[in-house]
Amino acid sequence: MTENWPICGREVHLHGGLLAINEPQSNVITLWPNTLCGKRCEIEIPTYGKICTGIKSLGIEIVGLEFITHESEAIGESPTQWRTYSDQQKIWPNWDATQLWSQIGNASFKHKDGICYDLSKRISYQLTSLNLRLKDLSLSYRDQLNALNIKSNPNHGQRFQDGFTDTVYQKFHSFLFDSCICAITYLSLFTIILGKAR
């Protein structure tokens, strides 16, 4: 069943700090952490491309996917490929927008439009930065979940604070900061474009 699948491991970051793991060339997805009873939750998917559909069938929202395509990525010698997920027609809007702005920058360079080149490359960079900030935030929240003593059976919705709380807030702050920079750069570019149109 999986003989035509790419040799690619996937770690799906889920809301609440959960993780879904799909080993290379396996149709089984394993959720982390185990249940309060110590049981492992596994689901099977019919095709490689159905990973998001399979996870969403459990009622869990997806934050992003980490693709592990080479041994060097698996052992930490090189970074994994991370993409923010969106439940829309285009599931990789950040990736698509980053590529588009990079192409606009290249076209601007060929047309010798220095300002448009500079701003479009900045937007492309900021979108990449936002993508990584969301991954950092997800990993920090996962660390906090991992440190939480699940066996103490905390009350649902109960607030708590531990050694990871400040890190989660800092990662969230970094994400918001980069979001604002990206928005300001967008506005600068559109102001310039509107000024040229007049």
56: phi > 0 → left, psi -120 to 50 → alpha, else beta; which? alpha
- Min mean pLDDT across 8-12, 66-70, 185-189 is at 185-189
CA dist 31 → 35, 65, 117, 125, 140 (Å):
9, 14, 43, 32, 18
* pLDDT of amino acid 11: 95
* pLDDT of amino acid 119: 86
The answer to whether the beta carbons of residues 12 and 62 sit under 8 Å apart is yes
pLDDT, tens digit, 9 for 90 and up, residues 101-142: 999 999 999 999 888 888 889 889 999 999 999 999 999 988
The answer to whether the beta carbons of residues 192 and 116 sit under 8 Å apart is yes
83 pLDDT more than 60:
yes
* pLDDT of amino acid 103: 93
Q: Is 87 exposed, middle or buried (0-12, 13-18, 19+ CB in 10 A)?
A: exposed
The 8-class DSSP code of residue 39 comes to P
Contacts of 189 by beta carbon, 8 Å cutoff, 6+ apart: 116, 119, 120, 123
The residue among 157, 151, 152, 155 whose CA lies nearest residue 16 is: 157
**CA-based torsion, 153, 156, 160, 166: positive or negative:** positive
Contacts of 192 by beta carbon, 8 Å cutoff, 6+ apart: 115, 116, 119
CA atoms lying within 13 Å on the CB side of residue 16: 10
* pLDDT of amino acid 174: 92
156 pLDDT more than 80:
no
